[in-house]
Amino acid sequence: MNRSVCTGVILTGLLLSAVHAHAQVGLDAEFAGFGARALGMGSAFIALSDDATASEYNPAGLVILERPEVAIQTSYRLDRHRELQPVSFGNWLGQGARGAAPRENEYDSYWIPSFASFTYPTKWAVVSICEYSPMYFKRSLTDSSGRYFIKRDWETQLTNYGVSVGFAPFSKLYLGTTLKYGDFRYRQRDTMSSGTFLNSLEGNSLGANFGFIWKMHPWFSLGGVYKTSQNLAGSYASTRVHLKIPRTVGMGVAFHPNDRLRILADVDQIEWSEFMKERNTLEPNYDRDDVLRYHLGAEYLLKVFGEATPSPTALFVRCGAMREDSNRLYYHGTFEPLRKAFPKEEPINHLSCGLGVARSRYQLDFAVDESSKGTQFILSTVLYF
């Protein structure tokens, strides 16, 4: 392969990565993370889902809610990632296949109001309306040489607006569904010596979640959820792009032997291999795999303060773990530098913990999740009426 062909292949891969590799870092079913209670238990929530975030986790859980409520949440992320460094492109091209593409750690931090809902129980069903961001990240990269650009900023967000209904056709069986409208936005801003250049991708979609919870035993609950894919279409840099936000299938079990302890385990599959609705012929050697995730978590009612008062305070502690396959784009062709620059990554392990304080009129929950991808904090508030 001569030098001009090598250069073309490398630059093609890098340009494609601007849309694909960068637009998928850290993406999973609950991409930006929401639900401090669920996150504190390793996001093992399918068979419980007894708060407003059930609209996305498992809408059947809405049946458990007995009072009107308003829920709001904010999330903070510190992302860790390893990216190609444009300042080194020239050196890399000169080295040819002798070494791997230079990579180094990058850090990005941001916060987002990631969930809001209003839930109202009626005689026959529980109805909830919500707005949430299951996909959100920001990324910045600076080329200190100024040879290619001075600074590049990316921002990606999927905002869903949903209406959910949960009902119980039988005393031990709960069913629920969420109809959602998605608004997807991707922005890339390049600051160069010659000026500022903007590229964007926007699209809208429709989707739905379907779930059940079966109270199979006083101590056990079984839950399942199916989330349809969301098809998006838009233009990026004058090129028509089709994306397919993947569908998810999950099952979970909850063990609750008493009023103080809950132990939960979930498994779900996310079809990230279908992220691109139509395969771009320029990238036949790039791929991403479906993702399996395993969740395990527990919640314990640590103490109740003022039990004899009209408004006691309950303190909860939570912990959890999750193991997930990587959904990052990887290169499986024969060009060795790209194989090293975009490798197939190992599964990612998460550890999480959380605290909750509940009173008769409100509840506060806090959780933190730590993994090789970064750290995430969630604070949520629920007001009861």
Tens of pLDDT along 303-314? Answer: 999 888 888 999
Give the integer Cα–Cα distance in Å for 109 and 111.
Answer: 7
- Strands 195-217 and 173-192 come out as antiparallel
- Measured at the CA of 328, the angle between CA 237 and CA 268, to 5 degrees, comes to 120
Whether the per-residue pLDDT at 381 is higher than 90: the answer is: yes
Which pLDDT score is estimated for 287?
A: 80
2 vs 39, residue with greater confidence: 39
pTM of the shown model: 0.83
188 vs 88, residue with greater confidence: 188
Which pLDDT score is estimated for 77?
A: 87
Q: Are the C-beta atoms of residues 121 and 66 closer than 8 Å to each other?
A: yes
Q: What are the residues whose beta carbons fall under 8 Å from the beta carbon of 159, sequence distance 6 or more?
A: 131, 132, 133, 182, 183, 185
Exposed/middle/buried for 142, CB within 10 Å: 0-12, 13-18, 19+? middle
334-348 mean pLDDT: 81
Q: Where are the beta strands (DSSP E) in 34-150?
A: 69-84, 103-121, 126-142
From residue 83, give the alpha-carbon distance in Å to each of 87, 98, 336. 12, 19, 17
Amino acid of residue 308 = A
- pLDDT bracket for residue 293 (50, 70, 90): very high
Amino acid of residue 30 = E
Whether the per-residue pLDDT at 4 is higher than 80: the answer is: no
Q: What are the residues whose beta carbons fall under 8 Å from the beta carbon of 8, sequence distance 6 or more?
A: none
- pLDDT bracket for residue 40 (50, 70, 90): very high
275 vs 326, residue with greater confidence: 326
Instruction: Say which range, 49-53, 191-195, 223-227, has the weakest mean pLDDT.
Output: 191-195
Domains and CATH numbers, the chain: 3-384 (2.40.160.60)
157-166 mean pLDDT: 94
From residue 206, give the alpha-carbon distance in Å to each of 177, 181, 275, 384. 14, 5, 15, 30
Mean residue pLDDT across the chain: 81
Q: Tokens in use for 102?
A: 């230079």
- pLDDT bracket for residue 33 (50, 70, 90): low
Which pLDDT score is estimated for 39?
A: 94
185 vs 340, residue with greater confidence: 185
Which pLDDT score is estimated for 349?
A: 95
Give the integer Cα–Cα distance in Å for 166 and 152.
Answer: 44
Collapsing DSSP to helix, strand or coil, 307 comes out as coil
Q: Tokens in use for 240?
A: 């028509």
Whether the per-residue pLDDT at 129 is higher than 70: the answer is: yes
